[in-house]
Amino acid sequence: MEDIKKRIRTIKFWNSVFWITGLLSTLVGLALLFTLLTDLFMDGFPRLSYKFFTSFPSRFPDEAGILSAWVGSFLVLFVTASSAIPLGVAAGIYLEEYAGKNWLTDIIEINIANLAGVPSIVYGLLALGLFVYFFKFGESILTGGLALALLILPMVIMATREAIRAIPNSIREASYALGATKWQTVQSHIIPYSTGGILTGIIIGLSRAIGETAPIITVGALTFIAFLPSSPFSSEFPFVSFKWLFDPFTVMPIQMFNWVSRPQHEFQLNAAAAGLVLMAMTLLMNGLAIYIRYRFRRKIKW
Amino acid sequence: MAHNSYKKLKEKAIETALFLSALSSVLITIGIVVVLSYESFGFFKEVSLKEFLTERQWTPLFAEPKFGILPLVSGTLLTTAIALIVALPLGLTAAVYLSEYAPHRLKEIVKPILELLAAVPTVVYGYFALLFLTPILQKFIPDLSGFNALSPGIIMGIMIIPYVSSVSEDAMKAVPMHIREGSYAMGATKLQTAFKVVIPSAFSGIAAAFIIGISRAVGETMVVAIAAGGMPNLTANPLEPVQTLTAYIVAVSLGDVPHGTIEYKTIFAAGITLFLITLIFNLIGFWFRKRIREAY
C-alpha cells in the first residue's frame, strides 16, 4: 500500500514538473519575441524622425533615411498584390468548386503543398532566370513584385480554399435549387461568404512578402538607391504612366540588411530603426488579419 | 434560347479561366525545375559532377577555382541541426502543454502571439543574431568568433518554433477525446496520457511538423547570411564561421555578376542542390500528412 502511494506521488510529481516545463517552454518563445522587440526599440527609436522617412540613404549615418526603401516596398507590394490576389483566389475557387476528383486535381494539390515548402530564395532564382533574363524585365520593380507574387501564391490559394470549405453545402444547394448556374452561385454566395477568410490569408501573405529579403536580393535589387522611381502620374494624356514598373529599386528589408552588414555602430542603429518600421508594418498587418478573422467569424453564423 | 447558349458559353469561359489559374501553380513548379536545371546544366558542362560532390573546397571566385559543394552543404546542415536542437524540444513541449494542459482562454491568447514569431521578417532575426545574441554568447564562450554557426542556428530555432508547435498541436487536437478518456479512466495522469497515448496517436502529424521545421531551417537565408559569416567552411564546429547554400546565393547576388559567367551559374548549382534537399523533406512531410487523414 505504501509502495503504491509512493508511486502515485512520484507520478503526480512528474506531472506537475511537466506542467511547469510546458508553461515555461511556451513562454520562452513569447519572452524572446518581447526581448527582440525591446532591443530593437531601444536601439532604433531615437533614430526615428520625420527626416528619417524623407531622406535617401547616405554615406553619413546621421543623414541617411529610408525614403527610397519604403517607396520601393510599397510599389513592389502593389505589383505583388495585383498579380497574386486574382490568380490565387481564382485558383482556390476552381479547386474547391469546380475541380473533379481526378489525377490532374491531385497533381495540382500535391504541387501547391510542395510549393509552400520551397525556400523563398529558390523563387528568387526562378525570377532571375525567367523575368530578368528570359522576359527581359530587367532588375526592376515588376520583377521583384512578380517574384514575391509567386512566393505568396500558394498561401493565397490555401487560404481561399480553407475559407470556401467552411461554407456549408446547404447554401450551394439552395442557390442551385433556384436555378442559379455555378458561376452565379460562386459570385453571389461563395465569394461574399468567404471574403473574411480570404482577406485574412491575403493580408498574412502580403505581410510575409513585405519582410522577404532573399528573393529580392537574388533578382538584383540594389542596396544603394538615392532616387525615386518615375511617377505613376503624368501631366500628359493618359495621365498614368507605367514606366516605374521597369525602374531599379530597393526595399525596406534590403536597406536594413545593408545597414546591418556595416561595421560602424551608427549604421547599425539605423538598421534597428528600419527594423522597427518593418516590424510595425508586419505587426499591423497581422493585427488587421486577426481582427478581420474575428469580425467575420462573429458576423456569419450558419 | 439564344440567351441560354450565351449563358452556357459564359459559364464555360469562366470555368476555363479559373482552371488556367489553378494550372499556373503547376507552371511555377515547372518553371523552377526548368530554370534551375537549364542554368546548372551549363555549370555541369564546365565542372564535373564528381568534382562537385567530392571536392572539399568551394572557391569559385578565386584565380584557381574549386567547385566542391560539400562545405556549403555542411554549413547548411550544421545551422539546421542547431536550429532543430532548439526548436524540436521547445516546440513539442509547448504543443503538448497547449493541447493537453493549458486552459482554453490562455491558449486562445498564447497561440496567435506564438505564431507572430514566424511573422517577424527574417532580416530582423539576422540583426538580432549578429548584434544581440552573438555578443552575449561571446561572454560565455570567449573563443566564439564574431561570425559563427551557433548564434544564427539558435535564432533560426526560435523562428521555427511556431511551425513545429502549431502543426503538432493541430495533430494532437485531432486525437479523439475518447482515446484520452480511456487512459484517464485507467488512472493515468495527463503526462502519461500525453506521452504514451496522445503523442503516439498523433505521430504522423508531429513527424510532419518536424519535417516542416527542418525544411524551413534548410531554406532560411537572411539570418545565416547576416550572422554566420561568408566563408565556405567544411566543419562541424559551431563556433566557427560557416556559409550555407542560401547565404552563398545571397553573397553572389549582392555583387554584380554578369549573366552567363561561371559565377552566375554557380548560384543555380547551389540552388538546385537546395531545391532537391527541401523537395525530399517536403515529400516525406506530405506522405506523413496524408497518413494523418487516413488515421481515424
The hierarchical CATH code for the domain B70-295 is 1.10.3720.10
pLDDT of residue B1: 54
Minimum-distance CB partner of B215 among A95, A117, A279: A117
Q: Which residues, listed in sequence order, are joined to residue B67 by a DSSP beta bridge?
A: B58
pLDDT band at B153 (very low <50, low <70, confident <90, very high): very high
- Decide if B253 and A278 are in contact by the 8 Å CB cutoff: no
Q: What is the mean pLDDT of residues A273-300?
A: 86
Minimum distance, in Å, between the CA of residue B160 and any CA atom of chain A: 10
Q: Rounded to an integer, what distance in angstroms lies between the CA atom of residue A165 and that of residue A168?
A: 8
On chain A, the residues whose CB falls within 8 A of the CB of B89 are 25
- H-run or E-run covering B106: helix B104-116
Q: Rounded to an integer, what distance in angstroms lies between the CA atom of residue A183 and that of residue B59?
A: 57
- Decide if B28 and A87 are in contact by the 8 Å CB cutoff: no
pLDDT band at A51 (very low <50, low <70, confident <90, very high): confident
Grid cell 560539400 is found at B70
- Decide if A36 and B282 are in contact by the 8 Å CB cutoff: no
The C-alpha cell at A125 is: 532564382
Nearest-by-CA chain A residue for B255: A220
On chain B, the residues whose CB falls within 8 A of the CB of A111 are 25-26, 29
- What is the percentage of chain B residues whose pLDDT exceeds 70? 97
- Decide if B15 and A213 are in contact by the 8 Å CB cutoff: no
Grid cell 560532390 is found at B53
- Decide if B119 and A204 are in contact by the 8 Å CB cutoff: yes
Q: What is the mean pLDDT of residues A61-82?
A: 88
List the domain boundaries for chain A. Answer: 2-46, 48-299
Q: Which of B35-44, B46-55, B170-179 has the lowest mean pLDDT?
A: B46-55
Say whether pLDDT at B32 is over 90: yes
Q: Supply the DSSP string of A98-140, one letter for each residue.
A: I--SSHHHHHHHHHHHHHHTS-HHHHHHHHIIIIIIIS---SS
Best of A16, A25, A130, A285 to disrupt the B interface (most B CBs within 10 Å) is A25
- Decide if B17 and A290 are in contact by the 8 Å CB cutoff: no
On chain A, the residues whose CB falls within 8 A of the CB of B126 are 257, 260
- Decide if A126 and B32 are in contact by the 8 Å CB cutoff: yes
Nearest-by-CA chain B residue for A98: B15
Q: What is the mean pLDDT of residues B218-240?
A: 86
- Decide if A90 and B17 are in contact by the 8 Å CB cutoff: yes
Q: Rounded to an integer, what distance in angstroms lies between the CA atom of residue A226 and that of residue B222?
A: 24
pLDDT of residue B282: 86
pLDDT of residue A250: 87
Please say whether the beta carbons of B164 and B212 come within 8 A.
Answer: yes
pLDDT band at A85 (very low <50, low <70, confident <90, very high): very high
Q: Rounded to an integer, what distance in angstroms lies between the CA atom of residue A260 and that of residue A252?
A: 12
Minimum distance, in Å, between the CA of residue B39 and any CA atom of chain A: 8
The hierarchical CATH code for the domain A48-299 is 1.10.3720.10
Minimum-distance CB partner of A93 among B18, B25, B132: B18
Work out the mean pLDDT of chain B and round it to a whole number.
Answer: 88
- Decide if B93 and A22 are in contact by the 8 Å CB cutoff: yes
Q: Which of A29-38, A162-171, B2-11, B34-43 has the lowest mean pLDDT?
A: B2-11
Q: Computed over its alpha carbons, how large is the radius of gyration of chain B?
A: 24
Please say whether the beta carbons of B237 and B210 come within 8 A.
Answer: no
* Terminal Cα distance for chain A, rounded: 55
- Decide if A99 and B275 are in contact by the 8 Å CB cutoff: no
- Decide if B162 and A181 are in contact by the 8 Å CB cutoff: no
List the domain boundaries for chain B. Answer: 2-46, 70-295
pLDDT band at B274 (very low <50, low <70, confident <90, very high): very high
Minimum distance, in Å, between the CA of residue B208 and any CA atom of chain A: 12
Q: Rounded to an integer, what distance in angstroms lies between the CA atom of residue A94 and that of residue A186?
A: 10
On chain B, the residues whose CB falls within 8 A of the CB of A268 are 127, 131
Nearest-by-CA chain A residue for B118: A208
Q: Which residues, listed in sequence order, are joined to residue A240 by a DSSP beta bridge?
A: A233
- Decide if A26 and B114 are in contact by the 8 Å CB cutoff: yes
Backbone angles phi, psi at A2, to 5 degrees: -55, -40
Q: Rounded to an integer, what distance in angstroms lies between the CA atom of residue B1 and that of residue A197?
A: 39
- Decide if A278 and B282 are in contact by the 8 Å CB cutoff: no
Q: What is the mean pLDDT of residues A265-269?
A: 87
Please say whether the beta carbons of A268 and B130 come within 8 A.
Answer: no
pLDDT band at B286 (very low <50, low <70, confident <90, very high): confident
The C-alpha cell at A50 is: 520625420
Minimum distance, in Å, between the CA of residue B58 and any CA atom of chain A: 20
Minimum distance, in Å, between the CA of residue A21 and any CA atom of chain B: 8
pLDDT band at B295 (very low <50, low <70, confident <90, very high): low
Minimum-distance CB partner of B35 among A12, A108, A130: A130
Residue A297 or residue A200, greater confidence: A200
Minimum-distance CB partner of A28 among B29, B90, B191: B90
Three-state SS at A56: coil
- Decide if B253 and A113 are in contact by the 8 Å CB cutoff: no
Grid cell 515529400 is found at B283
Cβ neighbours for A92, distance < 8 A, ≥ 6 positions apart: A156, A157, A158, A159, A160, A161, A164, A198
Say whether pLDDT at B42 is over 80: yes
Grid cell 512566393 is found at A151
Minimum distance, in Å, between the CA of residue B28 and any CA atom of chain A: 7
Best of A7, A17, A125 to disrupt the B interface (most B CBs within 10 Å) is A125
- Decide if A108 and B279 are in contact by the 8 Å CB cutoff: no
- Decide if B113 and A115 are in contact by the 8 Å CB cutoff: no
On chain A, the residues whose CB falls within 8 A of the CB of B279 are 114, 118
pLDDT band at B66 (very low <50, low <70, confident <90, very high): confident
- Decide if B274 and A30 are in contact by the 8 Å CB cutoff: no
Work out the mean pLDDT of chain A and round it to a whole number.
Answer: 87
Please say whether the beta carbons of A139 and A221 come within 8 A.
Answer: yes
Q: What is the mean pLDDT of residues A112-118?
A: 86
| B107-147 per-position pLDDT tens digit | 888 888 888 888 899 999 999 999 989 999 999 988 888 89
Q: How many CB atoms lie within 10 A of CB B19?
A: 18
Say whether pLDDT at A241 is over 80: no
State the pTM of this model.
Answer: 0.89
| A91-109 per-position pLDDT tens digit | 999 999 998 888 888 888 8
Nearest-by-CA chain B residue for A21: B93
pLDDT of residue B124: 93
Minimum distance, in Å, between the CA of residue B242 and any CA atom of chain A: 16
